[in-house]
Chain A
Amino acid sequence: MTTTISAPNDSATAAPVMRIDGHVDPSTGNINAPGALHVRGNIVDMFQVTCAGDAMIEGVIEAAEVTVGRDLHANGGIAGKGRGMCRIAGNVQARYIAQATVECRGDLSVQAEILSSRIIVGGNASIPTGALMGGHATIVGSLACQTIGGPGTSTIVEIGFDEPLRRLAAASLPRIERLTRDAEKVRTALAPLMKNQKHLTREQKEKVTEMLFEADSFDEEVEALRTPLELGWQALLGKPESEIIVSAALHPGVTIRFRGVQTTITAAIKGPVRLRVRGSGHDLYVSLVEDGKQAGHALSSRPLADPVMDQLAKLFGSKL
């Protein structure tokens, strides 16, 4: 095994590339690359790899923890054995993904298939010549693949959902509510005192001032929690309509979810087809459009509750 760090094109300003000629294993220890990373071998079970730039992994990413600041090229595939976790700030290109959790903010492109994995994608996902089988995929943009589901598997596909935003909202909204209530409680308690300042003792005046500042600090904290939620929400609103494009087959046992509505496939559907959400309000349904046709037909659909995102919609005053 050799590890070298070099600057591409002999440029002194370019981010260094850390090169590992063998595996990331006990011989290398965990890896923390300040720039890009090139691993010729595997990243074996239990090892942690962090890189600030792009990562090119020629071997297999096993049950390891990989964090990448830009794009990941997993040329040997990702075989997480139910424990592997990859968090990618940019795009992901992988030969295959099996039994792993992969979360990327950009697009995901997989050559062969995605099997029994938890996939969270901030952009679009494509498996142009392969299957999405088993597991749970949550995608902000659209999904294009050859097949979804398979015999004896249950597959959940969520389209148009921003999972990191949903998680952030789930964590922040209760705190926002509590802080808003606390600030209001303080101001309500102070209102009569502010009207009768002349009758307050010196100590009371000091205390009232402290409480006014306390209420203000609650407001500031609320604002700090609201800002990223609002930015995420506005970004989600600005995205084009998401859809699923299946070129070969959609198998029974697949649950398709769009915002507010879901359907479970009960009989095999031959591709190429597109699935979109249609209707409005309480009459949303998943529409199946066959190749070459403009109009679709409604699949048996049922409402999908998403209290966290509904609360966001209420907070920022617009529906998705």
Chain B
Amino acid sequence: MKIMLVDDSKTMRNIQKKSLASLGAVDFAEAGDGVEALAIFSATTDKFSVILVDWNMPNMDGITLVRKIREKDKTTPLVMATTEAEKGRIVEAIKAGVNNYVIKPFTPEVFLEKVQQTLAKAAAPAVAA
């Protein structure tokens, strides 16, 4: 499994990484802002199982990153992990193309549950409308 963590806080990336390691063999990529994340995303040939994105970051914020990724790729699961808790923000993120949204502060259980939900949904066969 390949997961990219995008957060300007290295501490936050580390604790997410530690928590996600319980999912099994995970190959992590890390980025401290949207610019770095987009470069990694473009340079990576293997598809990411999920990308976790913080909203507030320097250089390029998370919502811009989500839009840029969606311009290139419609299917890679994206989870916004952010302090932005207002309904308007959540709607904005969903419109931009995130698959799930987890609001800080979150517990390790909630965080892991959201990621697992997202992975399970991505793995499930698509149902025709």
Contact = CB atoms under 8 A, between A and B. Distances in A.
B86 to A, nearest CB: 10
Interface string A174-205: 00000000000000001001100110101001
A212 B12 contact: no
B12 A209 contact: yes
B85 A212 contact: no
What class of interface size applies to chain B in its complex with A? 10 to 19
B105 A208 contact: yes
A216 interface: yes
A193 B106 CA distance: 12
Interface of B (DSSP majority class): loop
Contacts of B15: 209-210, 213-214, 217
Interface residues of A, number: 17
Interface of A (DSSP majority class): helix
Q: Give the interface centre of B85, B105, B106 by most chain A CB atoms within 10 Å.
A: B105
A202 B86 CA distance: 12
A205 B107 contact: no
Given A198-B85, A202-B83, A205-B83, A213 B104 contact: no
A208 B104 CA distance: 8
Nearest to A190: B105
B11 interface: yes
A206 B9 contact: yes
Contacts of A202: 56, 83
A205 B12 CA distance: 11
Contacts of A217: 15, 18
B105 A197 contact: yes
A105 B92 CA distance: 63
Interface in A253-271: none
A216 B108 CA distance: 7
Nearest to A193: B105
Interface of B: 9, 11-12, 15, 18-19, 56, 83, 85, 104-108
Interface of A: 190, 193-194, 197-198, 200, 202, 205-206, 208-210, 212-214, 216-217
15 contacts: A197-B85, A197-B105, A198-B85, A202-B56, A208-B105, A209-B105, A209-B106, A210-B11, A210-B15, A212-B107, A212-B108, A213-B15, A213-B18, A216-B107, A217-B18
